[in-house]
Structure 1
Amino acid sequence: MGSTWKKVKVALGFNMCLYGPRNLEDSLPSMAARFSDGAAPSNLLSLPATPTSSNSLLQLSKSSTRSSKRTCAICLTTMRPGKGHAIFTAECSHSFHFHCITSNVKHGNQICPVCRAKWKEIPFQSPASDIPNRMMRFNQLDWSPDESWMTVLRRVRPPSIDLPRQVASLSHEPEPGLFDDDEVLEDIPDRGTSVVDPIDGFFGKIEVKTYPEVSAVAQSAFHDNFTVLVHIKASFANHGQHCCESRTPFPSQRSRAPVDLVTVLDVSGSMTGTKLALLKRAMGFVVQSLGPSDRLSVICFSSAARRVLPLCRMTESGRQQALQAINSLVSNGGTNIIDGIKKGTKVLLDRKWKNPVCSIMLLSDGQDTYTFGIDGSRSETDYLSLLPVSIHRNNNTALQIPVHSFGFGTDHDATMMHSISEISGGTFSFVEAENTIQDAFAQCIGGLLSVVVQELQVRIECVHPSLQFGSLKAGNYRSNIAPGSRIGTINVGDLYAQEERDFLVTINVPVDGSLEEMSLLKVECTYQLPITNEMVTLEDVEEVKIRRPNTIGEQSVSIEVDRQRNRVHALESMAKARVAAERGDLADAVSVLEDCYRALSETISGQAGDHLCTSLCAELKEMKQRMEDQRIYDTSGRAYVLSGLSSHSWQRATTRGDSTRSGSLMQSYQTPSMVDMLTRSQTMLLGNPTPRPQRTLRPTMTFPARTCQR
């Protein structure tokens, strides 16, 4: 019992009332856990059990005891000078471990966690000038003390006259009924993202290439399901400069479209401790990556959702406001994902001003028991009816709000998170290792901050009068073959800089002895430039033609076509294996993946060591291993497969397994902008925002780089 009361005495420095339960041994560990993530304590701490008599009410003394003076109020462990732990004593006389208090105040918190006094000086860590190569990683979780680091006090700047409005979570003001309090958009000529000089500015451009599976078909031959590949790439170039002459790997901040981003974050009780700390750090990276014309809003949800940051520009003051809101997050309560999505959508629907690009990033580590119950049925129809119609990708409106979801850890509802992304047109990432959450966010942000083309629609038309479409393989993109089967359309939407899309079209080539050359298809693209809102039509794409000689010898299939056939085959096999696994037939699921693996290995691109084919085989092998056991499939296999399906269906990079690690085989669809942001995340150093050049990642493209023909 003595040890129990010793723990109670730790709280004496908090100047608060403590309701003691019957069994203090059961409740005190939970009290320590609540303060483990460095959150500032409230004035009243209610322990799990409720009092049954007046004797259980303990009024703690306001004066600090000798024990509390020797105890750090943040980590609740003893402070022992000279044991490798620096001690910081604030101007209000309260003391803390130096590494504890610097972690607590690094996002702008200027209030003492004990007495709530506002400090004029706050501590921060600064590297010694003679150890440039020993600086600590920005995204490292545990900052152990080091003798080469010294205590430095930074004077807190007084509030500026134009300080932005109060953060809702800090002021505890009720939320407005209409979220039309978004910060007004302003053009910033020197650093802005929404102003482009029409003379020397950059612009998005679509490149189209077509590849028939073979170059010739004999006049007397009938070729069933003849395949043509339509390859689309979103490039960008300086005005008046050929697109392939641009030396910039991705759009600069000045040339790209600004973003309205809403992050919907799970702060339920399961996010306590390390998870919440890593999430805050990842959000800090997001804040620092956004430009002054980008706007950010933060929604957090547990048992209910609340807006903790209105949509505001990421200027210097806006970033400080965002970091304060993020640092104020505390984990508790249940998980209500649907409420979080609805509130995040409302922020984008109610805003007065609109940046060209908007998106929602959703993160959760648990199951939504508020919407479905513990054992509720969760079909695709359920999600479709529960989600706001405004985020459905086929809602026939100009506003598209893709939700990029992140399943955090092994206890999240992967089926729900994947369905939300599929319905809205976003991607689903599986963040299996907790310490990779920042990299997952970085890859997503790298794409969102490089949108150069919007509302892209591809129109494919048969040229020869006897031709008709057999099929149009477009993955998750909405496609349609018009009556008569001679015209097909694909709604692609937004494309990031240097992003590629590949679509397979099959037609039936008839017998024809009257032509030596046959025109098969012509392709037309229309799209919008997000910065100028100008609609562009690309009509001068060369028609797809094949030769029709009397006789032909042996021909090899185009490796470009073979490569995309492999991707489609792998995608279909993954989907089939998932269906088998969901009905409990893991043996059938494994068999499907093994058959696909063997088939891909024997193809032309597989034999040639094609990078995409190698990546697909590695992914099929990983999925097979995660489907061999029911327990493994339930904990990680399902999420891994769904993230792979999301990536290959949209032809867009997602996080799963080690896909964000340098050297990983599963880096398909990464763009240069994503790679750059990942490099920054993985090499960011405290006090040195410039990434190390020797640790850059290599972007993975569907097609190898080619010399551009004039």
Structure 2
Amino acid sequence: MAMGGQCDACLADFDLWHPALTAECLHKFHLHCVSGVNVCPACNAPAAAPTTTFGFGSSPVMPPPQPAQTSLCHGIIDHSQSTVTSECNHTFHLRCFSGSVCPFCNARWRDTVAVSVVPNPSPPSTLFPGVTERPPTFWSFLESHVYDDDDEPVQPPAQGTIAQAAANNRALVIKTHCELPAVPRSTARDNFAVLIHAQAPSIAAEATAARAPLDLVTVLDVSGSMTGYKITLLKRAMRFVIDKLGPGDRLGIVSFSDDARQVIRLTRMSDDGKASAKRAVESLAAGGCTDILKGLIEAAKVLDGRRYRNAVASIILLSDGQDTNNLNGWGTSKNYSVLTPPSFKRSGDRCLPVHTLGFGTDHDAAAMHTIAEETGGTFSFIENQAVVQDAFAQCIGGLLSVTVQEARISITCSHPGVRVRLIRSGRYESLVDADGRAASLDVGELYADEERRFLVFVDVPAAGAEEDVTDLIKVSCTYRDTSSRQSVVVAGEVAVAVVQRPVKVATNTEPSMEVERERFRVKATEDIAAAQEAAERGAHAAAKAILDRRQEALARSAPGLAGDARCAALLSELRELSTRVANRRVYEQTGRACLLAGMSSHTQQRATSVQLFGAAAPTSNPFGSPAPPSFSFGGSGAYATPAMQSMVDSSRKTREGGGGGSFLVRTEQGSSSDDGSNISVACTTTAL
């Protein structure tokens, strides 16, 4: 097997005689080290059953060698399935071979792999490529392939849907912007900024039926503190979600308090499915304590145990309380990572985000933020409980419009003297080669029309005597189209960053507004994180000063930036956050959640919902539309896509249309407990 590295179980080296298996959780083992186990020896990711599929030094009856062309699937090798690299240096999915003979070159191995055979296996799916039977996992090959068969089969696409989607969807667009149009020929510049701007394709109105279908699991807190108006609002929000899902989408509902239960299995949202889901929602009742971990474990069982899979999958977690059953320590010393099941954590191209909604002022914002960060989801804060439906709406507006998956941007230096120094990519993983001649960015999944901006800093050499233009970097992108499930490559001259090299540059040359705007956003994001850290250690005056200085810095930035609409929206956000870190009481009540939601939004460049009562909020946003009574920021203007905004507008119309939910509810004083006892609350209600 492949040489190099150590087994994560026994810590012994891999060599030619000891095979290396790479699990989905990215840990590597000798084949014999995972025989008979039911959890990953390194991270305790659960297996459905123990196994003895691997034998070491055994002498099985070997099947006759098969021709190479019939023994290999030619599928993509990634981290979504277990892989083995053989002694003869060939790499396979674990499912693609058994015995001790290489199916490619017929070389004999010293270790034997015996994959369990399923009696009467299910036939291959005849559905479109985005909908497949549950793909094999690392653990599924350590057991017989027995499906729970608890999820309803997915719906096949309408005739011609894929072709229609391919015809109507434009491709992802990449553009570059240099911080200055020209650099003097004799001058070398270090850390010269180039902005890479990527925008996902749209979903044309006539092609909405061809969008990628969704597997959605909602994980809902029904502890005692949800008693009364809270659970009424939650049920109304869930009815809205159900109404907006299509017949190709599947919804599963998990509720949790002291324990967790699957309220409804993954069910297609046909007319019958919607009626069933609404009955399940109406059955929800509040009581007990809060165990977030049990709720997410139950959701993991639902999604990991699927027999069929839609192209897009996600989880929405709502909680109004704090998990005291699984967290030890106090404040920031708590290990919030224990709340995230291993199969949800980000790994390679695999994406199963948990979007978390902190409901009210008593939820654990740090826990909800951590769960979202570890899974690639977003964290939203709903202080104004009456508009919780809008938070659900914004989230599903994005999930129902995913057009891009597994997006990866590649950067290569065009000029021999250019080097990439640094990439500002927020939460997106980036890699710069050791020599600085190439770099890459893992962008992942994008909603329709969603944008990403990344600052790449390069070293620009002095130009030669005859060099009028210096080519800096060339940018390309690969991704998977969710409708057609086809791989797409984006490249071309439009994605080449160049800078003019005159002998002398005019002193009044204007910098790029695109680059300066992104510089300000990145610095503001860093300041939000710094202010949050200061507030956590009790330095509230310092936290406020950090945010106030960034507001003042806008006036000293590039000319015209202060009047830019996006910067004005960010300025309003900084002003709002400054009021919520000024003292401990306000920070504990709303400030922590606001700052963490802002960090979630800006580091991922994705809209989150922060629904406040708006005491310090502006009366309108910089894009012209009136602000709702509950102020929403955290990227709602800069990052919200048309599909997300349309869904939120639909939610507001539903609430204002007499659904019984058109009231602004604000808790003025009182306390509550998870078992629903000793609740004393004074509220004011105002019709929206």
Q: 1:414 — aligned with what?
A: 365
Shift of 1:223: 1.6
Q: How far off is 1:498 after superposition? A: 0.7
Name stretches of at least 5 consecutive residues in structure 2 with no aligned partner.
1-145, 615-619, 660-688
Paired amino acid for 1:566: F
Taking a change above 3 Å as real, the CA distance of residues 378 and 590 of structure 1, as seen in their structure-2 partners, is closer
- 1:356, distance to aligned residue in structure 2 (A): 0.3
Q: Do the aligned residues in 1 keep the contact of 2:164 with 2:210 (CA within 8 Å)?
A: no
Moved more, 293-302 or 664-673: 664-673
Aligned counterpart, 1:673: 643
Check whether the contact 1:221–1:511 (CA below 8 A) recurs between aligned residues. Answer: yes
Q: Who is 1:532 aligned against?
A: 484
Q: Are residues 1:301 and 2:256 paired?
A: yes
1:518 match: 470
1:223 pairs with 2:197: no
Equivalent residue of 2:248, what SS? Answer: coil
2:602 maps to 1:648: yes
Matched, 1:331 2:297: no
Aligned-partner SS, 1:471: strand
Q: Distance in 1 between matches of 2:165 and 2:265?
A: 36
Q: Which residue of 2 aligns with 1:584?
A: 538
Q: Relative to structure 1, is the Cα distance of residues 641 and 485 closer, same or farther in structure 2, using a 3 angstrom cutoff?
A: same
Please tell me whether the aligned partners of residues 410 and 477 of structure 2 are also in contact (alpha carbons under 8 angstroms).
Answer: yes
Q: 2:355–2:379: 8 Å Cα contact kept in structure 1? A: yes
The answer (yes or no) to whether the contact 2:165–2:207 under 8 Å persists in 1 is: no
Whether the 8 Å CA contact 2:183–2:499 is kept in 1: the answer is yes
- Structure 1 CA distance, aligned partners of 2:249 and 2:438? 39
After TM superposition, give the deviation of residue 673 of structure 1 in Å.
0.3
Q: Are residues 1:593 and 2:547 paired?
A: yes
Give the RMSD, CA atoms, in angstroms. Answer: 2.2
**Deviations 1:31-76 (Å, cap 9, x if unpaired)?**
xxxxxxxxxxxxxxxxxxxxxxxxxxxxxxxxxxxxxxxxxxxxxx
Give the Cα–Cα distance (whole angstroms) in 2 for the partners of residues 251 and 580 of structure 1.
Answer: 50
Give matches, 1:138-287, under 5 Å: 180-187=149-156, 189=158, 195-198=161-164, 201-203=167-169, 205-236=171-202, 248=204, 252-287=207-242
Matched, 1:478 2:432: no
* Residue matched to 2:529: 575
| Contact 2:155–2:247 (CA under 8 A) maintained in structure 1 | no
Determine if contact 2:292/2:339 at 8 Å carries over to the other structure: no
- Determine helix, strand or coil for the equivalent of 2:440: strand
CA distance in 1, matches of 2:414, 2:249: 45
Quote how far apart the aligned CAs of 1:377 are: 5.8
CA distance in 2 between partners of 1:561 and 1:207 (Å): 18
In 1: Cα distance, 2:482 partner to 2:460 partner: 39
Amino acid in structure 2 at the alignment position of 1:180: D
Whichever residue aligns with residue 328 of structure 1, its letter is: S
CA distance in 2, matches of 1:565, 1:271: 42
Map of 2:501 onto structure 1: 548
Cα deviation, residue 642, structure 1: 0.4
* Deviation for aligned residue 1:255: 2.3
Quote how far apart the aligned CAs of 1:657 are: 3.7
Check if 1:458 corresponds to 2:409: yes
Relative distance call for 1:326 and 1:179 in structure 2 (3 A) is farther
Listed one character per residue, the Cα deviations across residues 398-417 of structure 1 (whole Å, up to 9, x for unaligned) are: 53210000000000000000
Q: Residue 175 of structure 2 aligns to which amino acid in structure 1?
A: K
Identity %: 43
TM-score normalised by L of structure 1: 0.67
Report deviation, 1:389.
1.9
Question: Are residues 686 and 312 of structure 1, via their aligned partners in 2, closer, same or farther at CA, if it must alter by over 3 Å?
Answer: farther
CA contact (8 A) 1:409 1:431 kept: yes
User: Residues 548, 391 of structure 1: CA spacing in aligned structure 2 closer, same or farther, 3 A cutoff?
Assistant: same
How far 1:572 moved relative to its partner?
0.5
For 1:572 and 1:680, locate their aligned partners in 2 and report how far apart those are by CA, in whole Å.
34
The TM-score with structure 2 as length reference comes to: 0.69
Cα deviation code 1:571-626 (max 9, x no counterpart): 00101111111111111111111111111233236645111100111111111100
- Aligned-partner SS, 2:309: coil
Q: What are the superposed Cα offsets for residues 516-572 of structure 1, whole Å, 9 maximum, x if unpaired?
A: 110000001000011221111112143111111111112111001111111101000
User: Which residue does the alignment assign to 1:241?
Assistant: none
Kept in 1: contact 2:561–2:567 (CA 8 A):
no
Structure 1, gaps ≥5 residues long: 1-176, 238-247, 690-710
AA aligned opposite 1:604: A
Alpha carbons 1:196, 1:202 under 8 Å: kept: no
Q: 1:625 aligns with which of 575, 579, 582?
A: 579
Q: Residue 236 of structure 1: CA displacement?
A: 3.1
User: Amino acid of the residue matched to residue 480 of structure 2?
Assistant: Q
Report whether the alignment pairs 1:359 with 2:314: yes
Distance, in Å, in 2 between the alignment partners of 1:648 and 1:199 is 31
Shift of the alpha carbon at 1:221?
1.4
